[in-house]
Amino acid sequence: MKTENLIGYQYKGGKKTFKAIDPASDKELDGDFHIASQEDVDEALTLAENAFASYRYLDKKAKATFLRNIAEEITNLGDELIERAIAESGLPQGRLQGERGRTTSQLNMFADLVEEGSWVEATIDSAQPNRQPAPRADIRKMLVPVGPVVIFGASNFPLAFSVAGGDTASALAAGCTVVVKAHPAHPGTSALVGEAIKKAAERNNLPEGVFSMLYDDGYAVGEALVNHPKTKTVTFTGSYRGGTALVKLAQEREHPIPVFAEMGSINPTILLPEALENRYQEIAEQYAASITLGAGQFCTNPGLLIAIKSPVTDKFKQALGEAIEKVASSTMLTPGISKNYSNLFEEMLQEQGVSMIGTSANINREKANQARPVVAEVSASSFIVNPKLREEVFGPYSLLVTADYEVQLQQVVDALHGQLTASVVADEGDLKKYKDLIQGLVNIAGRVILNNVPTGVEVIPSMQHGGPFPATTDGRFTSVGTGAIKRFARPVAWQNWSNDLLPDELKDGNPLEIWRMVDHKWTKE
């Protein structure tokens, strides 16, 4: 495992280093990771810009091969990767093996997408030389990559949203070059994956600088990366504070750039009466599992349940409390996250009208940084007047809000900020009775879910992982699924160029056999 900064194809040491911590033991792990300097930032972005000049034009098959080779190199890392990721994240082996599978699948999915090629939205309007009063020139448009992208590794997906995660896969697929700021919680995992990408780039003789990766245990390197004039776009998954700070930096640049920040959600779920009546026990168990999955460290964790006060809601509450009691504690990603979680749920329990429904009776005393699953409750009237209760508690926590009457359900929804997801648990009568309430959820979320939990984000074309602010900074884009590539491209129109000078995607005869809109019609001709 190399512990120096990866700048193009070179490893470069620095003056200061830091170590990874095993959150299950609070002990330092092997490896002194080198903190990047301002010069390293500049060098990485200069290489990234130089590499972009040729990488952007890489043949679509060659780009697909590169992405598939990254997936292969990650698989080749074998147990070493999983073991290091377990040690650095506290996540269990099965989860990390699954996450590795998701990571390689994402890379292969983007390889398929670029190899197929239609994602560039090629659009052609033929010339009209005889148009009156003036002729119309031939105009053809397609998406082109924006340039070097800075990607912040996320703590909660050490593989699937980190060094070779969805952001990197989609940026490289778009034809952008990438500089990753490795997350300090898992530098060793990052080092291994970074080297896998380097190997894949070398196997394909790609220009040096197509990928670089820098370390820092503070904020200076991240800030320098966002401020660097060669950076064209930034992605980030993390806290509201972190995300909005990066947006501010990016907006204050001489030439502002977009920051795609995913900043968390409380993912409201409305539990409607008939469904609770018919199957409160099953719903309680399903939600207890979703709330505590991965120690609740998912951006789609159901942190808010909304129901109407009734005897059956009381039964559901009891069942939920009992289900939560049975869930064992689990190790959180970092000591900092663990401490924040404990502080925040304790604070929530002190808020006006909030009381505990249930908490885990099964806390592992042998391991450090254990997240205690907690479910609390509050009345809708207390919830509506207290903005604090709408904040995300990152961890295995959920708050049940109980409305006194039906209209209050809508008032609770109206009090919410933008969300990644909004869910409804409903049976047939509920769907008719609460039609407007249910339909209105589209206004606050990027994904609306019926009788399903929000956790488990599928990596498919129809996925939307991005919602109105503050769930993400730009709800018009997604960070999961094939649509994620659109964050890294912009349209360019070519006017009056001869066929041989146009990109292949726009040439007469459609040599790449992609879907195109030609004179207002979709066609593969």
Binding-site ranges for its own copies (CB under 8 A): 118, 123-125, 134, 136-137, 139-141, 144, 147, 247, 251, 255-258, 417-418, 431, 438, 442-443, 445-452, 456, 458, 460-464, 466, 468-470, 473-476, 478, 483, 486, 489-498, 501, 515, 517, 520, 522
Least distance in Å: CB of 87 to its own copies? 24
Residue with Cβ nearer its own copies (399 or 416)? 416
395 Cβ partners below 8 Å, 6+ apart?
295, 296, 297, 332, 337, 341, 344, 345, 371
d(CA 151, CA 172): 11
User: Do residues 193 and 164 touch, judged by C-beta distance below 8 A?
Assistant: yes
Structure tokens that stand for 278 in this block: 């018919």
Strand duo 123-125 + 516-518: pairing: parallel
Residue with Cβ nearer its own copies (369 or 473)? 473
Least distance in Å: CB of 433 to its own copies? 13
Least distance in Å: CB of 485 to its own copies? 12
Least distance in Å: CB of 488 to its own copies? 9
Least distance in Å: CB of 285 to its own copies? 15
Residue with Cβ nearer its own copies (368 or 438)? 438
Residue with Cβ nearer its own copies (213 or 275)? 275
d(CA 437, CA 442): 10
Please return the burial class of 410, using the count of CB atoms within 10 Å of its CB with bins 0-12, 13-18 and 19+.
Answer: middle
User: Do residues 341 and 393 touch, judged by C-beta distance below 8 A?
Assistant: yes
What size, in residues, is the chain?
525
- Give, as one character, the DSSP assignment of residue 469: T
345 Cβ partners below 8 Å, 6+ apart?
372, 374, 376, 393, 395, 397
Residue 59's CB: how many other CB atoms inside 10 A?
11
- The candidate with the shortest Cα–Cα distance to 226, out of 150, 168, 163, is 150
Strand duo 330-331 + 370-371: pairing: antiparallel
Angstrom distances, CA of residue 422 to CA of 32, 208, 467, 498 = 43, 44, 10, 50
Residue with Cβ nearer its own copies (429 or 475)? 475
Q: Give the helix, strand, coil percentages of the chain, each rounded to 5.
A: 45, 20, 35
Least distance in Å: CB of 473 to its own copies? 8
Residue with Cβ nearer its own copies (3 or 482)? 482
Least distance in Å: CB of 416 to its own copies? 12
Residue with Cβ nearer its own copies (87 or 271)? 271
Strand duo 139-145 + 489-495: pairing: antiparallel
Q: What value, to the nearest 5°, has the Cα angle with vertex 216 and ends 333 and 31? A: 70
Least distance in Å: CB of 117 to its own copies? 12
Residue with Cβ nearer its own copies (15 or 521)? 521
Residue 425's CB: how many other CB atoms inside 10 A?
27
User: Do residues 401 and 266 touch, judged by C-beta distance below 8 A?
Assistant: no
| Active site members | 262, 299
